[in-house]
Amino acid sequence: MATTPELLPYGRIREDLFRPLSGVSRNYVLATVVAFVIGAAGLVAWGHQLRSGMGVTGLRRPVFWGFYLVNFVFWIGISHAGTLISAILRLTDAAWRKPVTRAAEAITVFALMIGAMFPIIHLGRGWLFYWLFPYPNGRMLWPNFRSPLLWDVTAITTYLTGSVIYLYLPLIPDLAQLAEHRTLWRRTLYRTLSLGWTGSDREWHALERAMKLMAGMILAVAVSVHTVVAWDFAMTVAPMWHSTIFGPYFVTGAIFSGIAALIVVLAALRKILHLEFYLTRHHFNNLAKLLLLMSLLWFYFTMAENLTVWYGNDPGEMAVFAARTRARYAPYFWTMVLLNFVVPLVLLGIRRLRTIRTATIASACVLVGMWLERYLIIVPTLANPRLASASSTYTPSWVELAITAATFAAMVMLYMVFSKLFPIIAVWEFKPHPLEEE
Amino acid sequence: MERRWGMTIDLDRCTGCQACVVACHAENNLPVSGPVEAAKGRAVHWIRVDRYYEGTFPDVKVKYMPVMCQHCDDAPCEPVCPVYATYHNAEGLNVQVYNRCVGTFYCANNCPYTVRYFNWFEPEWPEPLQLHHNPDVAVRPGGVMEKCTFCIQRIKRTKQDAAQEGRPVVDGDVQPACVQSCPAEAMTFGDLNDPNSKVSRLAESGRATRLLEELGTKPKVIYLQRGK
């Protein structure tokens, strides 16, 4: 690569990356308002559901989990963009990671916040969600630690706490640089959040150590989180849920969709914030190769899962398998295979076709495909229980659709606000080493 | 010795008349869902009669199978509940504590028999059914899961009455509403730990089978049917 941001003078980099923080364009306002309206519509829908009951959803016996759980798994999957990718790149000291990590870590935090809402939204009595927390309560009762849902609560709160710290730590030096900002409220915000960072040797060492430590720990937590999400399904006796490979299968799918989300977000940032010089073909090329690798891995798992079921020919499982591949859900299934495997393989596997644009297109396809994958895992199994007399179908209601749309709007809104408040690329990482400075 | 309540259902006797379904509705204050919600699969019937068709038209035989909570000894619904809303009591019943339930649906998803029912809305009864409520049974609020209890209120009442009269509870004293109402006398209820009870003797019969026995849930509802 001929041009890398490292070759630019540090002053220019600072200017480029701090510029998006000031000034609000008309498009920004417009996008925020649209996102806010969609988000508000979702809140109204949720209010309606809390008031009237879960009957306003499309759920019914035996399909007790629908769009909400699909969204839950999807967003927790997206959250694996950040932390996992940035932690792997940090630990392996990949030099190209610098402009990518913060954007990725921010996705993690917001996707987790959104994903963690769904277990609450899907509850029959959502206002009692805190009964799942282990605290000394009036009922003199601990929650049931044998329940995978409690493992979920534990894993996700740990992950959210960890990734907020992981996002925050490398922000501190940038916040300190911004502490002299012109506007008063920004000055106060940055000064408070920078925790009195002065940039001394001791502070740098402490930060470096803390980040290394967090990168290692967050890696383990991230893997465990999606494994536990998979176990919500795998621990049951339901046909095609009760599968030993679900843990790694879900982790693979999560990283897969996470990288796709990261590529889409980076492409948008590049275009909107004019970061062409910072987010180059080089970055997209590397991420696209990673995406291709995950696509192959995902296909391998999907094949292993479905082939063994088909060959085993267990009647309970075959009912689900047939519904997925040959009957009601077949169009979704084959679309999923197309979007998650064929499209990335062609667009990213053939080097001539691998550009920023095709990487973005393939990533958008993967996001849709991975959402479908979760739908195909959750709904057909529930709709085809072991006693065929109870079989049913599921169509989401407007409430579920509105809440689903609202979460995407919330993601856009949170990300836009974040990129206005904090530099979306870590500026200090481009700072020349003091010894190289003349 | 602790009791272990169980039931036998003689499928060779069952006529599929649904009297058990109606009796259960009346006894247990089951909400009336109405035709629209029922068509969506939202109706609550703690006991339902499944139909199985044998042969090809016109030579068809229908077999009926009443299915309710099987009160499994190793119930898959129990460990997955994060708030202990469903658990095993000392007499082997799989009980549901409505007040603890937050509505995660997890128990229903892990029930291979699909016998758990959810209150999609606050319960409703068309006039004048709201006047017939059984005072011994709690009305469940919207947002919680419910299912067959083996008429636990009748078990408790029988034990209380017996204690007051200073006599032991004997076989046949407790009859859940479905058992009591079955005109074909296909259902028998009693203590499986008592080797001399009628239900124990029937459970030993060569016709005894259990539903989805291969899953290892150890159901306490035992079906009786002749071999092919």
Check which CATH number belongs to the domain holding A160 and give it: 1.20.1630.10
Domain region containing A374: 5-130+143-430
When pLDDT is averaged across residues A378-385 and rounded to a whole number, the result is: 96
Which residue, A370, A408, A144, A361, is CA-closest to A257?
A370
Give the β-pairing of B5-10 and B221-224: parallel
Q: Report the pLDDT value the prediction gives residue A317, as an integer from 0 to 100.
A: 94
When pLDDT is averaged across residues A390-399 and rounded to a whole number, the result is: 94
Q: Report the pLDDT value the prediction gives residue A4, as an integer from 0 to 100.
A: 65
* Digit-coded pLDDT (tens) for A284-318: 999 999 999 999 999 999 999 999 999 999 999 99
Contacts across the A-B interface (CB distance below 8 Å): 133
Residue A267 belongs to some domain of the structure: yes
Q: Is residue B113 less than 8 Å (CB to CB) from chain A?
A: yes
Task: Report the alpha-carbon distance of residue B166 to residue B7 in Å, rounded.
Answer: 26
Residue A86 belongs to some domain of the structure: yes
Task: Report the alpha-carbon distance of residue B103 to residue B193 in Å, rounded.
Answer: 33
Task: Report the alpha-carbon distance of residue A324 to residue A333 in Å, rounded.
Answer: 6
pLDDT over threshold 70, residue B1 = no
B172 secondary structure, DSSP code? T
Name the more confident of B132 and A325: A325
Confidence of residue A2 (pLDDT cuts 50, 70, 90): very low
Of B51, B104, B141, the CB nearest to A123: B104
A385/B122 CB distance under 8 A: no
When pLDDT is averaged across residues B89-108 and rounded to a whole number, the result is: 94
In the block, residue with structure tokens 């979007």:
A339
When pLDDT is averaged across residues B190-218 and rounded to a whole number, the result is: 94
A96 secondary structure, DSSP code? G
Which residue, A289, A330, A321, A252, is CA-closest to A80?
A252
All residues at 6 or more sequence positions from A47 whose CB lies less than 8 Å from its CB, including other chains: none
* Digit-coded pLDDT (tens) for B104-113: 999 999 999 9
Q: CB of A83 within 8 A of CB of A376?
A: no
Name the more confident of A427 and A60: A60
DSSP output for B52-84: EEES-TTS-EEEEEEE-----TT-THHHH-TT-
B41/A60 CB distance under 8 A: yes
Name the percent of chain A lying above pLDDT 90: 64
> How far is the CA of B173 from the CAs of A232, B9, B59, B157, in angstroms?
42, 18, 42, 10
**Cβ neighbours of A364 (radius 10 Å):** 17
Residue A135 belongs to some domain of the structure: no
Helix, strand, coil percent values for chain B (each to nearest 5):
25, 20, 55
Name the more confident of A82 and A206: A206
Please, what's the largest Cα pairwise distance for chain B?
Answer: 59
Name the percent of chain B lying above pLDDT 70: 99
What is the distance between the terminal CA atoms of chain A, rounded to a whole angstrom? 26
Full set of structural domains in chain B with CATH: 5-224 (3.30.70.20)
If you average pLDDT over every residue of chain B, what do you get?
94
pLDDT over threshold 90, residue A5 = no
Residue A150 belongs to some domain of the structure: yes
| A124 contacts in chain B (CB < 8 Å) | 101-105, 118-119, 142-145
Using CB atoms and an 8 Å cut-off, which of residues 135-174 of chain B contact chain A? 141-145
Interface ipTM: 0.92
Residue A136 belongs to some domain of the structure: no
What is the distance between the terminal CA atoms of chain B, rounded to a whole angstrom? 38
Whether residue A148 is preceded by a cis peptide bond, meaning omega within 30 degrees of 0, is: no
* Digit-coded pLDDT (tens) for A215-271: 889 989 999 999 999 999 999 999 999 999 999 999 999 999 999 999 999 999 898
Angle subtended by helix axes A26-52 and A398-421, to nearest 10 = 140
Residue A419 host element (H or E): helix A398-421
* Digit-coded pLDDT (tens) for A320-332: 999 999 999 999 9
The residue of chain A nearest to residue B105, with distances taken between CA atoms, is A64
All residues at 6 or more sequence positions from B117 whose CB lies less than 8 Å from its CB, including other chains: A61, B44, B45, B46, B108, B145, B146, B147
Q: Report the pLDDT value the prediction gives residue B228, as an integer from 0 to 100.
A: 57
How far away is chain B from the Cα of A226, in angstroms, using its nearest Cα?
Answer: 18
Q: Helix (H, G, I), strand (E, B), or coil: what is residue A305? A: helix
pLDDT over threshold 70, residue B28 = yes
Q: Report the pLDDT value the prediction gives residue A1, as an integer from 0 to 100.
A: 42
pLDDT over threshold 90, residue A427 = no
> How far is the CA of A433 from the CAs of A6, A174, A438, in angstroms?
11, 16, 10
Q: Report the pLDDT value the prediction gives residue A88, as an integer from 0 to 100.
A: 84
When pLDDT is averaged across residues B1-18 and rounded to a whole number, the result is: 92
Residue A242 belongs to some domain of the structure: yes
Q: Report the pLDDT value the prediction gives residue A426, as an integer from 0 to 100.
A: 84
Burial class of residue B167 (count of CB atoms within 10 Å of its CB; 0-12, 13-18, 19+)? exposed
Q: Helix (H, G, I), strand (E, B), or coil: what is residue B7? A: strand
Task: Report the alpha-carbon distance of residue B10 to residue B66 in Å, rounded.
Answer: 10
Give the β-pairing of B221-224 and B187-191: unpaired
If you average pLDDT over every residue of chain A, what do you get?
90
Which residue, B96, B100, B97, B133, is CA-closest to B116?
B96
| B83 contacts in chain A (CB < 8 Å) | 131-132, 141, 143-144
Query: For chain B, how big is the Rg over CA atoms in Å?
Result: 18
pLDDT over threshold 70, residue A6 = no
CA dihedral A103, A105, A110, A112 (to 10 degrees): 150
Residue A105 belongs to some domain of the structure: yes
| B104 contacts in chain A (CB < 8 Å) | 119, 122-124, 149
B150 secondary structure, DSSP code? S
* Amino acid present at A234: A
Q: Report the pLDDT value the prediction gives residue A196, as an integer from 0 to 100.
A: 85
What's the residue count for chain B? 228
Residue A438 belongs to some domain of the structure: no
Q: Is residue B40 less than 8 Å (CB to CB) from chain A?
A: yes
Domain count across chain A? 1
